[in-house]
Amino acid sequence: MTSTQPQQILLSPPHMSGAERHFVEDAFRTNWIAPLGPNVDAFERELAAHLSCDGAEMHCCATSSGTAAIHLGLIALGVQPGDLVLCSSFTFVATANPICQLGAEPVFIDSDEESWNMSPAALRKALETLATEGKRPRAIVTVDLYGQGCNYDAILPIAREWCVPVLEDAAEALGATVSGKPCGTFGDVSAFSFNGNKIITTSGGGMLVASDARTASQARFLATQARDPAPHYEHSVAGFNYRMSNICAGVGRGQLLVLDERVARRREIFAQYQRALGGLAGVEFMPEPAWSRSSHWLTAMTIDAARAGCSRDALLASLAAERIEARPTWKPMHQQPLFSGHRMFAHDESHAPACERLFRDGVCLPSGSSMSDADLARVIAACERALAPSRATAVASQDAAASRTG
């Protein structure tokens, strides 16, 4: 059956370089078909080298997922049952789940409008309020949303002042920087994801990153069933089966070679969307503060329905009708049934939390680095038809006139 339907444009599909095959074939040739192996060791070293800057050496532990890296990172920070953990509300659920799975309690922190990430003011308010109740959180979990780092120049001094360690969920932000320093190096421990939709992928996988070699080696120990040194199987603590396979790490090594190109293309896609749609009434793109160089993993924008004359959901529906995959921004954790009853600290207590609006009005547009210019133009035209029908008609008739006279 032939179809006249246009090809579906996906949100963020995997984008192979071709170089992955070399490393994967090497794993086959040497029969390293196992969790662990030379590709895993090399992938850890290569990513650590990529992140190390200004003489600060980073240490990596490759994991079966980003979620596993977050889980191990929380353990590394000493999170235990009954602890409080401050956590950015505007994120994917995998940031918060491991907190509860350790028996700890997440306390959610709002975003600010400047970065869409953890509000330093809300973080300070939470620490002050909890202190008056005689409580000090065990950890702070920040999230570098859609490829943009947090305002770490404000957040880290607050964390230090209150002596609370930071776990940086940089799952979406490999290749981004804050004040020139790579995302994934701001936390006492940090986590990346190489899920199929992320900026580079291993099909599924993650990485725990630490500035301290002992933290990384302890994570490797726990991720490999916590085997004590002995000729037999000896265990004194409960571990996990959280290591990355040598095949997946081969894919990751091939992907890491093209990381800079992938970031450049995602930034270009964001810039083109912003140029074409940024002037439309009621449309605002995720801001990129002067201190941030986002990877723009996903291009995100908000639609003010009253000013745009089109709601967020109407835009999503018209894109879906044209076989374009767009998504709402993450629904904040404090609004999820899973976390109902958990506390939330707003950026500005006299207003609703900022992240509630960023979710209500927020859209992520197709942003894959393999997207062609023609597909990008198709998405932009579809957005214009929904958001500025009169302008879209005018452009279409100009084009028609041009093609008649040309």
Binding residues for ligand PLP (CB under 6 A): 65-67, 91-92, 94-95, 143, 169, 171-172, 193, 195, 206
Find the helix or strand (DSSP H, E) in which 208 lies. strand 206-210
CA distances from 77 to 102, 138, 247 (A): 12, 8, 30
- Residues with Cβ < 8 Å from 371, sequence gap 6 or more? 9, 269
CA distances from 104 to 23, 128, 130, 342 (A): 40, 20, 15, 12
For ligand PLP, the closer CB: 32 or 192? 192
Least distance between ligand PLP and beta carbon 103 (Å):
20
Least distance between ligand PLP and beta carbon 15 (Å):
16
Least distance between ligand PLP and beta carbon 347 (Å):
19
Dihedral, CA of residue 236, residue 238, residue 241 and residue 244, to nearest 10:
-70
Q: Where do runs of H (alpha helix) occur along 200-311?
A: 213-223, 246-256, 259-277, 305-308
CA–CA gap between residue 165 and residue 295 (Å, rounded): 25
Coil vs helix vs strand at 278: coil
User: How is residue 331 written in tokens?
Assistant: 């629904």
Least distance between ligand PLP and beta carbon 352 (Å):
23
Least distance between ligand PLP and beta carbon 97 (Å):
9
For ligand PLP, the closer CB: 11 or 380? 11
Closest CA to 386 of 325, 318, 330: 318
Least distance between ligand PLP and beta carbon 285 (Å):
19
Strand partners, 106: 85
For ligand PLP, the closer CB: 144 or 375? 144
Closest CA to 137 of 112, 101, 162: 162
User: How is residue 61 written in tokens?
Assistant: 């532990």
For ligand PLP, the closer CB: 208 or 382? 208
Strand partners, 109: 88, 345
For ligand PLP, the closer CB: 122 or 170? 170
Least distance between ligand PLP and beta carbon 191 (Å):
7
User: How is residue 145 written in tokens?
Assistant: 């949303």
For ligand PLP, the closer CB: 87 or 346? 87
Residues in the chain: 406
Least distance between ligand PLP and beta carbon 54 (Å):
26
- Residues with Cβ < 8 Å from 78, sequence gap 6 or more? 138, 139
Nearest residue to ligand PLP, using CB?
66
Least distance between ligand PLP and beta carbon 192 (Å):
8
Least distance between ligand PLP and beta carbon 379 (Å):
21
Give the single-character DSSP code of 243.
B
Closest CA to 252 of 20, 88, 80, 64: 20
For 372, how many CA atoms within 13 A lie in the half-sphere containing its CB? 6
User: How is residue 400 written in tokens?
Assistant: 């028609």
